[in-house]
Structure 1
Amino acid sequence: MTSKSPLKGIDVSHYQGAVDWSAVKNAGVSFAFAKASDGNTYVDPQFRTNWQAMKAAGVVRGAYHFYETKDDPLTQANNFIAALGSLDSDDLPPVVDIECYSGAFGTSSLASNLQSWLDTVSKAFGRTPIIYTGSSFWNTYLGSADFSAYPLWIAEYGVSQPKMPNGWSNWTFWQSSQSGSVAGVSGACDLDQFAGSSMAELSMLSGA
């Protein structure tokens, strides 16, 4: 972390409806994540519109997949890969959002299933994915597994600094609110911070 103000971001899905990304950019938002897919087959109906409009507005963009623990990890990975299609060099790495236990798939452990998703997506895009999670969920279901090689996007609200889940000593992104207000977005949206204060640092993460 630097002593300067971290870069501001948001994350959205179809729940936010149509987003005015130019207004979001003008409100001081530097980056954003949009939901692309969920589980084995679901694709967010607003994703493609968000993905293209984020780029056009000059917002550094990222995409995430909501991981269903009861679904096959390879099918989920391929669903996300198909929904995203490709990454530009200045896009953020792909994200897996794992925060809810919905039952186990097969006889494999959750950790090995998650690793399968990460390996498949990493091979497809040539990028190291980001893991989004909360400390309580992670420590309960994956706390003994070491995923510290992956950048962490941590969710915790109403605190000055989030608690780190087992295996990480620092965060790359922090979802600090789920009830934020940003110009260009109707209703509430999630607010995020990047653990850096410059676009150059964000570009290093994106690979640009």
Structure 2
Amino acid sequence: MPAVTRPNFSDAKPVSFGRGGPDGYPVHGIDVARFQTSIDWRAARANGVNFAFIKATEGGDLVDPMFRDHWRGAGRAGVARGAYHFFYHCRPAAEQAAFFIRNVPRTRGALPPVLDMEWTPFSPTCTIRRPPEVLRAEAKIFLDIVEAHYGQRPIIYSTVDFYQENQMWRVGPYPFWLRSVAAHPDDIYGGRHWTFWQYTSTGLIPGIAGEVDINVFDGPSAEWGAWLAANRHP
């Protein structure tokens, strides 16, 4: 099992979560995209970044310009890494899955691929809101294609409003990565199971220029090791 480093983080806009806050979880990590242009991955790893979800693709024609740099850097520093796809609601799920597969390699030790589904009210090209049953069906198409290719059960990321309005737990028994920046996710998501919790978007971490999203894994270090053993790409 890779050694778990304790977080040496701060927050530009700290929140008091009270009982059950993220400080009670030993395994912390980040998610990054093109906005994080400068990362000293070895420094970040030494200061508590145990895993990283890295934006790879969006829709069917956009590759994040920092994906390859982040992917290589995290791997060299021993950070457990996984790639995520930002879902575009105006393109068929099968096309998006094929695009993700073309751009994300099957890498030994990689975390499961992630499907990021949320509303896009500020998109310049696509702000539609399809019915919940359509969105869940599209998610399942993407997930099935990606799982067949990588041989790993994917993770679903979602936000409070999208998750609740579309009853995303009905997609299936997938690991969920849920956003909750003002309260513990058990209080916000009705006690439904989650594997990763994104608790801030204004984190400050040595080795990373500017603010960054920070997450925790739901469990102690030993469970993290067991989860990695069961879910990493062989």
> Would the TM-score normalized by the shorter structure come out above 0.5?
yes
Report the CA distance between 1:130 and its aligned residue: 0.1
Deviations 1:102-142 (A, max 9, x none): 3268xx811111111001101110111000001211221x2
Kindly indicate whether residue 65 of structure 2 is the aligned counterpart of residue 42 of structure 1: no
Instruction: Give the structure 1 partner of residue 76 of structure 2.
Output: 56
CA drift at 1:97: 0.5
Quick one: distance in 1 between partners of 2:211 and 2:170? 34
Q: 1:119 to 1:148 in 2, by over 3 A?
A: closer
Q: Could you report, residue by residue, the CA deviation over 1:159-194 in whole angstroms, capped at 9, with x for unpaired residues?
A: 24454547x721100000010001111110000000
Q: Is the 8 A contact 2:179 2:185 kept in 1?
A: no
Indicate yes or no: 2:56 matched with 1:32. Answer: no
TM-score (norm 1): 0.88
Where 1:175 maps in the other structure, the secondary structure is strand
Q: Which residue of 2 aligns with 1:135?
A: 160
SS in 2 for 1:16: coil
Is residue 207 of structure 2 the alignment partner of residue 184 of structure 1?
yes
Residue 155 of structure 1 is aligned with which of 179, 182, 189? Answer: 179
Counterpart Cα distance in 2 of 1:182 and 1:193 = 14
Task: Give the CA deviation at 1:203.
Answer: 1.6
Letter in 2 for 1:99: E
Q: Secondary structure at the match of 2:48?
A: coil
Q: Do the aligned partners of residues 22 and 149 (structure 1) sit closer, same or farther apart at CA in structure 2, a change above 3 Å counting?
A: same
State the 1:35 CA deviation.
Answer: 0.2
TM-score (norm 2): 0.79
Q: Show CA shifts across 1:70-109 (max 9, x none).
A: 2111111111111112131x2110000001153268xx81
Q: Report if the CA contact (8 A) 1:152-1:173 is conserved.
A: yes
| Higher mean C-alpha displacement, 131-140 vs 8-17 | 131-140
2:194 to 147, 152, 171: 171
Segments of structure 1 that go 5 or more residues without pairing to the other structure are none
Judged with a 3 Å threshold, the aligned counterparts in structure 2 of structure 1 residues 131 and 164 are, in CA distance, closer, same or farther, namely farther
Aligned with 2:149 (options 124, 136, 146)? 124
- Aligned partners of 2:97 and 2:168: how far apart in 1? 23
**Equivalent residue letter for 1:135:** V
The 1:165/1:159 distance shift into structure 2, 3 A limit, reads closer
Q: Tell me which stretches of 4 or more aligned residues in structure 1 moved more than 6 Å.
A: none
CA shift in 2, pair 1:68/1:133, >3 Å: same
DSSP-derived class of the 2:138 partner: helix
* Shift in CA distance, 205/33, structure 1 to aligned 2, threshold 3 Å: farther
Within 5 Å, which residues of 2 pair with 1:193-204?
193-198=216-221, 199-204=224-229
Aligned mates of 2:197, 2:160 — CA distance in 1: 12
Q: 1:144/1:203 Cα in 2 relative to 1: closer, same or farther (>3 Å)?
A: closer
